[in-house]
Amino acid sequence: MKLVTAVIKPHKWEDVREALETFGVAGMTVSEVSGYGRQKGHTEVYRGAEYDIALVPKIRIEIVVEDSDAADIVDIVVKTAQTGRIGDGKVWVMPVDSVVRVRTGDKDEAAL
């Protein structure tokens, strides 16, 4: 099993969710996060004083999937979240040792 984590621009969240649902992803965990990459945030100006705001708002999506689906899901996220402009985000995949469904006690693939 794999954990796919994607950090994307907030306004792309609805597109990504729809695409993932169409693919058949049953569930995911989503959080509002902030951070920065190479673009290093943005600048705000208040009465002439400039403030560098390092952290930019992002959406983080976490999905645990079977090994065979991981590459497809990464493709879907990249395709739907891409604007071509700086700050589009990242997607990464990590191995998952075990998963348990809290309600039933089902384990691993049966718990997905």
| Shortest distance in whole angstroms from residue 22 CB to other proteins | 31
* Count of Cβ atoms closer than 10 Å to residue 87 Cβ: 16
Alpha carbon distance 107, 101 (integer Å): 7
Alpha carbon distance 66, 88 (integer Å): 26
Give the H or E element holding residue 93: strand 89-95
The residue assigned the tokens 């920065």 is: 36
SS3 state of residue 2: strand
Closer of 48 and 95 to other proteins (Cβ): 48
By CB under 8 A, the count of residues binding other proteins is 9
Closer of 44 and 109 to other proteins (Cβ): 44
| Shortest distance in whole angstroms from residue 17 CB to other proteins | 22
Q: Is 53 in the site for other proteins (CB under 8 A)?
A: yes
Q: What character string, x for contact with other proteins (CB under 8 A) and - otherwise, covers 13-52?
A: -------------------------------xxxxxxxx-
Residues in contact with other proteins by CB under 8 A are 44-51, 53
